[in-house]
Amino acid sequence: MSERVAVRKTYKLFIGGKFPRSESGRSYLVQDANVSLASRKDARDAVVAARAAVKGWAGATAYNRGQILYRVAEILEGRREQFVALGVPADEVDAAIDRWVWYAGWADKLTQVYGGANPVAGPYFNLSSPEPTGVVGVVAPEQPALLGLVSVIAPAIVTGNTVVVAASPAAPLAAVTLAEVLATSDLPGGVVNILTGRLTETAPTLASHMDVNAIDLTGVTDAELAADLEIKAAENLKRVLRPAPADHDWTTDPGITRMTTLLETKTVWHPKGV
């Protein structure tokens, strides 16, 4: 009996909820697969998609965002084996699933933890609440391919931001596969956009783009590139998360700084009178 000939997957970009090839028509061979080699134009398109998604995503209720992030965990749980087959260790997949669950729960709690009433010295109601900063450009860590990726995407989007992620160039398959999870998880198109390819092409575009509000340099390992990206980010005063140390342990409690760095605090005053 002859063996069944497998149907191979084409690994494409994830932009605006769709899976386009790079507009440049380029791909590169990595992890035994042809993966789209995103261009600067792809990065710009992804920013446009991310911007378009901000209003709906930031405007969704925190409860709704929490539900959707939990849904991502559910779908990921069902696709566990798929990631294992890509070479992601099983315990890393488990940790990634658990991280989605952890962040899902933050959706409707961070405002209470990070905001609050301020007792001003006068007859005023005064309330500070966090709000998403907008579009975040993210350079995902090279390793761990799945847990690292989830650990930078989830804290950015749980509060209502949308992201354009430059996936690990050396291990992009987990990222593209995660995109398939996201695409089937009720997450609105454009909230997460994933680019595969060279950081030197995508990251500077994101860092210098004037319609990007923040940049997360976590996965940048080249100090010179990191500094250059930070300089570019200064042009419109993007909020910056600096590169993670090489020995960063992704399995520990992430804390809330990743979330809060990508938030704005808005303080509203109103007089109290009759």
Partner 1 sequence: MIFEYAPAPESRSVVDLKPSYGLFVDGEFVDPTDGGSFKSINPASEEVLAEVAEAGAGDVDRAVRAARRAYEQVWGPMPGRDRAKYLFRIARIIQERSRELAVLESLDNGKPIRESRDVDLPLVAAHFFYYAGWADKLPHAGFGPDPQPIGVAAQVIPWNFPLLMLAWKIAPALAAGNTVVLKPAETTPLTALLFAEICQQADLPAGVVNIVTGAGDTGRALVEHADVDKVAFTGSTEVGRAIARSIAGTRKKLTLELGGKAANIVFDDAPVDQAVEGIVNGIFFNQGHVCCAGSRLLIQENVAEQVLESLKRRMAQLRVGDPLDKNTDIGAINSAAQLARIRELSDAGSAEGAERWSPACELPERGFWFAPTIFTGVTQAHRIAREEIFGPVLSVLTFRTPAEAVEKANNTPYGLSAGIWTDKGSRILWMADRLRAGVVWANTFNKFDPTSPFGGYKESGYGREGGRHGLEGYLNV
Partner 2 sequence: MTATATSARSDLSELGRSETALRTFLHGLPGVDQVGAEQRAAQLGTRSIKTTAKAQAIDLAIRMVDLTTLEGADTPGKVRALAAKALRPDPADPSCPHVGAVCVYPAMVPYVAEVLRGSAVHLASVATSFPSGQAPLEIKLADVRAAVEAGADEIDMVINRGAFLAGRYQEVYDEIVATRSACGDAHLKVILETGELATYDNVRRASWLAMLAGGDFIKTSTGKVPVAATLPVTLVMLEAVRDFRAATGRQVGVKPAGGIKTTKDAIKYLVMVNETAGADWLDPDWFRFGASSLLNDLLMQRTKLTTGVYAGPDYFTLD
By the criterion CB under 8 A, which residues form the site for partner 2? 122-124, 271-274
- 63 versus 125: smaller Cβ distance to partner 2: 125
Here the tokens at position 222 are: 């080249």
Number of Cβ atoms within 10 Å of the Cβ of 204:
16
Measured CA to CA, the distance from residue 35 to residue 37 in angstroms comes to: 6
Q: In what order do the strands lie in the sheet with 135-139?
A: 192-195, 162-166, 135-139, 214-216, 239-241
Q: According to the binding rule CB under 8 A, does residue 5 interact with partner 1?
A: no
Contact 15, 43 (CB under 8 A): no
- 119 versus 122: smaller Cβ distance to partner 2: 122
CB of 265 to partner 2, least distance (A): 24
Q: According to the binding rule CB under 8 A, does residue 274 interact with partner 1?
A: no
Show Cβ contacts of residue 47 under 8 Å, excluding neighbours closer than 6 positions: 135, 137, 164, 206, 209, 211, 212
CB of 191 to partner 2, least distance (A): 40
Select from 200, 234, 248, 251 the one that contacts partner 1 (CB under 8 A): 234
Residue among 150, 142, 123, 173 at smallest CA distance from 243? 142
Element at 270 (helix H, strand E) = strand 263-271
Residue among 243, 71, 236 at smallest CA distance from 154? 71
Q: According to the binding rule CB under 8 A, does residue 269 interact with partner 1?
A: yes
- 10 versus 257: smaller Cβ distance to partner 1: 257
CB of 257 to partner 1, least distance (A): 6
Select from 7, 223, 246, 274 the one that contacts partner 1 (CB under 8 A): 223
CB of 108 to partner 1, least distance (A): 16
- 8 versus 272: smaller Cβ distance to partner 2: 272
- Rg, Å, the chain Cα set: 19
Here the tokens at position 56 are: 């709906």
Select from 85, 90, 170, 231 the one that contacts partner 1 (CB under 8 A): 231
Residues in the chain, how many?
A: 274
**Residue 274 binds: one of partner 2, partner 1, none (C-beta under 5 to 8 A by kind):** partner 2
**Residue 272 binds: one of partner 2, partner 1, none (C-beta under 5 to 8 A by kind):** partner 2
Residue among 186, 167, 163, 185 at smallest CA distance from 176? 167
Contact 104, 96 (CB under 8 A): no
Q: According to the binding rule CB under 8 A, does residue 211 interact with partner 1?
A: no
CB of 117 to partner 2, least distance (A): 17
Give one DSSP letter per residue of 90-105, joined into a string.
Answer: HHHHHHHHHHHHHHHH
Stretch that binds partner 1, among 5-13, 71-79, 124-132, 192-200 (CB under 8 A): 124-132
Residues lying near partner 1 in the complex (CB under 8 A): 113-114, 116, 118-122, 124, 126, 128, 133, 213, 223-224, 226-228, 230-231, 233-237, 239, 255, 257, 260, 264-271
